[in-house]
Every structure is written in structure tokens, then in C-alpha cells.
Amino acid sequence: MDLANQQISVNPCLDVNATLGIDEAYLSVVNKYNISITLFSDLLECFMCYGVPTAVLPANKNSTLVIPTKYPLQVFYQANDYLYCQTTYIFKEHGSYGWNISQEDLCSDIYTIREPINSYLPIFVAFMVFTLLWVLFATCRVVIRVVKGKLSPDTVHDDLDRLQEAETSNPVMRTSRVSTRIRSVDTFRGITILLMIFVNNGGGKYVFFNHSAWNGLTVADLVLPWFAWIMGLSITISKRSELRVSNSRGKIILRCLQRAFILTLLGLMLNSIYTKSLKDLRFPGVLQLLAVSYFVCAAIETVFMKAHSQDDLLQFGRFTVLRDILDSWAQWCIILAIATTHTLITFLMPVPDCPNGYLGPGGYHHFGKEVNCTGGAAGYIDRLVFGSHMYNKTHNPVYGTILRHDPEGIMNTISVILVVYMGVHAGKILLLYYQCNARVVRWLLWSGVTGLIAGILCHFDKESGVIPVSKKMMSLSFVLTVSCFAFLLYAILHFFIDYKQYWSGAPFIYAGLNPITLYIGHIITMNLFPWAWKLTHATHWSLLAMNLWTTTLWGVIAYWLYLKDVIISI
């Protein structure tokens, strides 16, 4: 974090045209020393960081600075070659704060001059509005059904119609492409893709709707691995169906390869939107990551999966309770070998001038000792293989200037294979067990086991574990954590949607029917009207409203495709 770049001017409050931006506040520092002093600061989010110079405060003057409020801030100052008063304070948006510094009172408390705004009020208002709209929509549907049932002229013939239907030997069954799908799967997928659209458009600029600076877990960090997880569950269903109607596993693998190739091509096309020349075209990407992980898991399943019948399940005897694991022992051996190889490369591969097993961001991290070690082995491999054809942003909002690091790079793609296969196994539980309780209990057990292992690896702490939870690195603890939540969420959805049928899955189920179409569409139309527009003075209110509008509009488009029974598959 370089607050020197964020400082607007000395005493910006005296400028009538000065306005605070999102997650900013004023800090007025009164320097009562007879000499100039240097103010240092660093964000509390910055792990093992040393404060960077923020401003030089003139002697016997009041200097007002613009400071960030997204994370708690640590401040201290240097006078007479000594450092004084390291204080951590939670500044809040658009507040005005004061701090008096003097030789007599080396470390006075920071005080509030003007109260901050409630930056989380827009979230509460948005939640209430959407809840009200949902209640209104549900009420209207019930009223319409009741009115149609009572007032329709056809109701006088209900009894006769029932008799005629009973005597009909070949009743007409109306089906559609949507009616043959598993509702909980589409709902899970819809939740993921709509959440992805929301966070990709900014998420109202709230810290928990944006990706973590490096370690940690936010809502935004869940969306991509969740999409990969539910893709894995779909692999189980689709490959089992294909194996039952086809005798050629080779043709199935070729179709998987074709789908992976198309996804990769689409990903490169989307990357080209932000590239001026081919020499800077980013090769990795979200669709590329999904393509590779999909092909690996789909190919493994195609080779080893059995098209089970009910009699085949009896082969496990007394171990039938574990048949979901025993049935796929060969696949698990391969997946665990891939995960082990990834871990060994991460911790044992030598990286020039960097400690083995480094998982940090470089920059200010570890007091700047590993400034050129961003991403450790994973970052080094990507920079070696892709060169300029990778993610080009080198400024981290917390850790300052870092080396290029691609969140969808080679090592991260390998790591996601484990997430996809966790979804594959969830699908096997869905197919092999016919009672809801048997399914839900197993999903919850997998949720508990993956969560416990993840907790042990990260020591149930954000920074101090052996393998911290990091979406940037797709670390093993992160992969297991997101899988834990995925198992839990799907167990809940399956129980309420497929089993109890308390909820139809709407409106998320509609988005889950065409997720890739919505993803590509929202990337192409990002920042284009009517999905978005330029804001003169952006605030949490305006950004949250616009981002929710963008997400809602894509939800409406998904519903329109559903009404037309259009499912665009690759």
C-alpha cells in the first residue's frame, strides 16, 4: 500500500471542490514539534509489513490527508530519528478524524471530528427491496392460480375431464429440455453464475464482494471454484448417461476434447477484448482453466467409470456403505497423485533468490525481503512459460508493486482439478444412493472432512498456517475450504428443492440453464449501456444499485431463454 499515491493534497478540506471517494476519509494531523516529521502507515491486512512513508508533516502545522478506510490502518511517525506511537485505528468511510502529535504527548488518541457515513446501509436496503419484490411476485403467482382455478370456464368440466383422462390409455406427456434436468444442480450453477456477474462488475466496491488481497476468503473468492465444483457434478451425470448409450469411450473422450478446445478458444477471444496486440494477449483465463480441469476429470471418468445397474452395487458386500469411494478408487489415486505432485512442486521447486515453498505476494510482504518472489513456484512457472502473455496487473492494493502473477495460471489450473473432482464425487453420491438421507449425510460428511483438513493446514488462521487459504494461489487449504462450502450448500439445495420441493430454485435456476452464455455475454457487455454506465461521482449506493441492476438484467435474459426453452450448450 502506497498512501503517498492516495494523498490528494495538504489540507484538501480547504478546497471546496474536493470530494472524498469510496472508502476514503480525512485525517488531520497536528504537528506540534518544531521540526518536520514523517508519517508512516500500512494496512492491517498487509501481513508482516513495515510502514511506508505517507507524508512529511511541516513543523507546527495542521496537515490533512486523505486515507483509505477499506482495512484498519496502522500509523506511526518518525521524529529525531526515532519511531513513535504505532497505533491501529479503524477509520470509516467519509469520516473526519484528528490526531495531535507533540513532544509532550508522544502518543495521543485519534479522535473523531465528523462522524462517518454508514457505508453498509445500501446492502440492507437492497436486501429489503429484493425480499419485498420476491414476496410480491410469489403472492401474485398464488393469486393468479387461485383466480384461474375459480373463474376459468373450463372448471365446470373438471370432473368430466378427470373421467376422460382416467379412461385414456395413452395420455399425452408434455416435456421440454428443462423438465428433464436436476433442479438443484441448475440452481447451484445459477447462484454461482449470477454471483460471478455481480462481483465481476464490482460488487458495489465492498471488500467482501471483491477478491482477497492475497490470503483469506471472501464471497468473490467462492464463485469460480464453486462453478468448477458443480461442473464436476455434471460430469458424473453426463458421462454415466453417455456410457449407457455408447460403446465407444474413445468417442466420448474426443467430444470432451472438442468441448475443452471450444472453451479455450472462447476464453482467448474474451481475453483479446482487453488486448491491443497479440504480443500481449493473455493465454490463461477463467474459461481456459475450466476447459483443462474439465477435460482431465471427464477423461479420467470416461476411462474408469462403470455404467452401473442395481445388481452391480451388490459386489461391495458389507462395504456397500462405502461404495461411492470404492467404486472410484482408481480415479481417486490419479487425482491424489496430481494433488501431491502440485504440492511437491510448490514446496520443493527451487525459485531463484526465493525461499522454497514461498506462497506470498512479494512486494511489502515479509518486510520486503521477498519482493521478487510473487507467487513462489507457481508465479515463477507462469512467468517462465507465458512471459508477457499473462495477467499484466502488478499493483496490489495492499502489498504494493508485485511481479506478474496469473490467478488462472498453470499451477492454479492443476489445483482446481481437485475441486472439479470433488464435484464429480458429489455426483456419484447423487447417482449411487437413492434415499435423500443417505445422500445428504454423505455430502455433509465430506463437507466436514474437507473443512477439517483445510483448517489443520491453515491452523484455522488467515496467515500463520502451513498452507494459508489463498485464492490467488489456489492453495490446497483454499481448494478444500471451498469444497467444504460447496458440499454443504448443495446438500441444502438438494434437500429443499429436489426432496422436499419447498422451493423451485427460482430465479437462480433459470441462470443455471445457460451459465456459459451468461458469462460470455456479461464479459462482452461489461461497461456498456443498458447493463452499466459511467458514474460521475461513484458511491457505494450508486455502484451497488448499478451492479445489482446488471445482475438482474442478466437474470431476466436467462428467464427469457427459459421461456423459449433455449439451452445453449457447448
* Helix/strand/coil for 237: helix
Show Cβ contacts of residue 260 under 8 Å, excluding neighbours closer than 6 positions: 291, 292, 294, 295
Angle subtended at Cα 69 by Cα 66 and Cα 70, rounded to the nearest 5 degrees: 135
**In a 3-state reduction of DSSP, which class is residue 512?**
coil
Higher pLDDT: 317 or 233? It is 233
The cell for 324 is 461411492
Q: Given a cut of 60, is residue 18 above it in pLDDT? A: no
Mean predicted confidence (pLDDT) in 480-499: 96
- The residues pairing with 64 across neighbouring beta strands, listed in sequence order, are 28
Give the per-residue pLDDT at 241.
86
Mean pLDDT, to the nearest integer, of 41-61?
A: 90
CATH architecture of the domain 12-114 equals Sandwich (2.60)
Question: 344 pLDDT exceeds 90?
Answer: yes
Question: Pick the residue with more confidence: 8 or 472?
Answer: 472
pLDDT for 180 equals 66
Share above pLDDT 90 across residues of the chain, in percent, rounded to a whole number: 66
φ, ψ for residue 368, nearest 5 deg: 75, 10
- 419, 223 contact by CB (below 8 A): no
pLDDT of residue 312: 52
Percent of the chain with pLDDT strictly greater than 70: 89
Query: In which band, very low, low, confident or very high, does the pLDDT at 137 lie, cut at 50, 70 and 90?
Result: confident
Q: Residue 303: what residue type?
A: V
Confidence grade of residue 440 (pLDDT, cut at 50, 70, 90): very high
C-alpha cell belonging to residue 263:
472453451
- Mean pLDDT for all residues in the chain: 87
* Sequence-distant (≥ 6) Cβ neighbours of residue 334 within 8 angstroms: 300
Is the pLDDT at 7 greater than 60? The verdict is no
Beta bridge partners of 30: 62, 100
Residue 65, beta-bridge partner list: 27
Dist. CA 146–CA 153, nearest whole Å = 14
Amino acid symbol at 164: Q
Residue 149 is predicted with a pLDDT of: 67
pLDDT value of position 6: 41
Reported confidence tier of residue 280, pLDDT bands at 50, 70, 90: confident
Cell numbers for 325, please give them: 469411494
Domain segments of the chain as ranges: 12-114, 186-307+334-560
Given this model, what pLDDT does residue 318 score?
A: 64
Task: Give the tens place of pLDDT for each residue, 146-178.
Answer: 887 654 444 333 333 332 333 334 433 344 556
Task: Single out the catalytic residue among 211, 365, 405, 540.
Answer: 211
Residue closest to 405 by CA, chosen among 420, 423, 425, 385 = 385
Show Cβ contacts of residue 207 under 8 Å, excluding neighbours closer than 6 positions: 70, 71, 218
The one-letter amino acid code at 125 reads: V
Given a cut of 90, whether residue 275 has pLDDT beyond it is no
Helix (H) or strand (E) holding 476: helix 476-493
Residue of 1, 17, 457, 105 whose CA lies nearest to 9: 17
Q: Whole-structure pTM over 0.75, yes or no?
A: yes
Query: Is the pLDDT score of 496 beyond 60?
Result: yes
**Average pLDDT of the residues in 547-569:** 94
The pLDDT assigned to 201 comes to: 94
What is the bridge-based pairing of β-strands 61-68 and 24-31?
antiparallel
pLDDT tens for 514-538 read 999 999 999 999 989 999 999 888 8
**3: pLDDT strictly greater than 60:** no
Closest CA to 375 of 161, 396, 513: 396
> Phi first, then psi: what are they for 180, rounded to 5°?
-95, 5
Q: Which residue has the cell 522454497?
A: 356
Contact criterion met (CB below 8 Å) for 21 and 538: yes
CB-based contact 322:316 (threshold 8 Å): yes
Give the model confidence (pLDDT) of 354-379 as tens digits.
999 999 999 999 888 999 899 999 99
211 classed as catalytic: yes
Q: Output DSSP code: residue 354.
A: B
| 247 band by pLDDT with thresholds 50, 70 and 90 | low
Do 467 and 474 meet the contact criterion of CB atoms below 8 Å apart?
no
- pLDDT at 135 (0 to 100): 87
